[in-house]
Amino acid sequence: SVTELSKALGMLPSKVSRMIRTLESEGFFERNLETGKYRLGIEFFELGMVYIFNFPLRKILRPHIEQMAKELNLTASWAILNNSKVIVVDRVQNLNIDLLTYRIGLNLPIHSTSLGKVLLAYLPEEEQNRILKSVNLTKFTSKNIVDENLIKENLKLIRERGYSTDEGETHEDLNCIAAPIRNGNGEVIAAINLMGEEERISAEKLFGFVDYLKEKALFISRQLGYKINF
């Protein structure tokens, strides 16, 4: 409501009301006629889609996730880390269920998802500590780890083997694997993953595609200028 917005912004209700009316006329906010409260409008969605479709990496990664999804009949996604938030930039879905968590543009839990864990694993230790202390380590299922020390141990393992997993840790019926994407400087700037429902593909069978995913991630990284030093 205007009252709630004015309190949150520390501004006079009259000023907030004028601003909201202007934004409403441009389609950035929509008003509920029954309650008088506002919600985000379609223009914010359009701006978000413009950003996604013009994101430089998307043109490179989109063909690869389309290929993976088609060849394996699995869902393929990629994400970036932005201000401690894991953002799904693009996804090709082959799921019977629609997972709100993995929708494009939404934040993923960094401590339980394969994409979040692999992006976190390649950060400097100080940055890892900062993020883990700043986020809510929610217990989604009986399998996901919320102990900070155990999470750090798992992050070391991810760096050693070059991929991460999510075996029913975020959703009980969903298994995932993810691998890092590097730029020309060797920095991890994104991650790609494969996911499938437990009833369609077991965790053991999905994890059999780890080498395939790592090779795909390396190929993309080389497209971005990454070179392996022997």
* Beta bridge pairs of residue 4: none
Q: How confident is the model at residue 161 (pLDDT cuts 50, 70, 90)?
A: very high
Category of 186 on φ-ψ map: left (φ > 0), alpha (ψ -120 to 50) or beta: left
- When the pLDDT of each residue in the chain is averaged and rounded to a whole number, the result is 88
**Most confident of the following: 17-26, 111-120, 220-229:** 111-120
- Would the pLDDT of 93 be above 60? yes
Contact between 118 and 178 under an 8 Å Cβ cutoff? The reply is yes
Q: Judge whether residue 54 has pLDDT over 70.
A: no
The CA distance from 226 to 156, in Å, is 22
The sign of the CA dihedral 47, 52, 54, 56 is positive
What is the structure's pLDDT at 102?
56
Take residue 168 and report the two structure tokens written for it.
Answer: 């029913």
| pLDDT on residue 151 | 96
As given in the structure block, the two tokens for residue 148 are 């900070």
Q: What is the DSSP letter of 97?
A: S
Question: Does pLDDT of 78 surpass 80?
Answer: yes
Percent of the chain residues past pLDDT 90, beyond the cut: 60
Answer yes or no: is pLDDT of 21 > 80: yes
* 165-203 residue pLDDT tens: 999 999 888 999 999 999 988 999 999 999 998 888 898
The residue with greater pLDDT, 108 or 124, is 124
CB 151, CB 196: distance < 8 Å: no
Question: In this structure, what DSSP letter does residue 10 have?
Answer: T
C-alpha atoms less than 13 angstroms from C-alpha of 107 in its C-beta half-sphere: 9
Q: What is the pTM of this model?
A: 0.77
Q: What is the DSSP code string of 116-156?
A: HHHHHHTS-HHHHHHHHHHS-----SSSS---HHHHHHHHH
Q: How far apart are CA 92 and CA 73, in angstroms?
A: 10
- Better-predicted residue by pLDDT, 102 or 58: 58
Per-residue confidence (pLDDT) for residue 194, from 0 to 100: 96
